[in-house]
Amino acid sequence: MDRESSQKEVLNELIMRRRSKRAISEEELTEADLEKLARAAHLAPSCFNNQPWRFVLVEESAKLGRIKESLPGGNYWAKKAPLIVAVVSRQDMDCELSGGRIYYKFDCGLAVENLLLQATEMGLVAHPIAGFNPEVTREVLNIPAEFDLITLVVIGKPGDPEELSDKHREVELGERKRLPLEDVVSKNEFDDLRAG
């Protein structure tokens, strides 16, 4: 039995299906779709149940258009999306623990993963991006300076991979690539050879 087959037998099917695809349709999502996505994200665990995440669902055409216009060239594919979700938080909204452990971005990451898995369950593409213009996005969405704009998640129904660049089409249709498990997991103590 090959490694991929054995993983499919023991891992959650949504985890196996989730991919950061880029081929997105312009077809609009329903209000019911938006509510399901928001509810799934909102049910994530957080430190002392602080729930530090704040999500801005951007679907209104003028605001969405301004954010899309500010995207760098490599994120051309995101310009078709009918929904972009901005993930916003503030450090003082969550735990600050001994050893300098500041939890708000970790907890927001958990909520985003819930969002991604719910989108996968719904047959949608959901792709977090770091490549966006934070100044324009802050202005368009009226995000106060004291809040961190952590990421944007591009969401939509699957589109046509033929509309992607050759490079992105190859990734879209190819096998999922991950570092070898032994490069990211050690037992009983940290292995500094894996630190990168």
% residues pLDDT > 70 (the chain): 94
Residue 74 pLDDT > 90, yes or no?
A: yes
Query: Which domain, by its residues, includes 51?
Result: 21-174
How many separate domains does the chain show? Answer: 1
On whether residue 6 sits in a domain, the answer given is: no
On whether residue 41 sits in a domain, the answer given is: yes
Q: In a 3-state reduction of DSSP, which class is residue 162?
A: helix
On whether residue 181 sits in a domain, the answer given is: no
CATH number where 120 lies: 3.40.109.10
**Mean pLDDT for all residues in the chain:** 94
Residue 43 pLDDT > 60, yes or no?
A: yes
pLDDT in tens, 145-196: 999 999 999 999 999 999 999 999 999 999 999 998 888 888 888 887 666 6
On whether residue 189 sits in a domain, the answer given is: no
What number is the average pLDDT over the span 66-75?
Answer: 97
Distance CA 165, CA 161 (A): 9
22: how many CB neighbours lie within 10 A of its CB? 24
On whether residue 43 sits in a domain, the answer given is: yes
Question: 68 to each of 56, 74, 154, 155, 157, how far by Cα in Å?
Answer: 15, 12, 10, 13, 17
On whether residue 124 sits in a domain, the answer given is: yes
On whether residue 192 sits in a domain, the answer given is: no
In a 13 Å sphere around the CA of 54, the CA atoms on its Cβ side amount to: 12
pLDDT in tens, 100-132: 999 999 999 999 999 999 999 999 999 999 999
Strand 83-89 and strand 96-97: the pairing is unpaired
On whether residue 141 sits in a domain, the answer given is: yes
Residue 1 pLDDT > 60, yes or no?
A: no
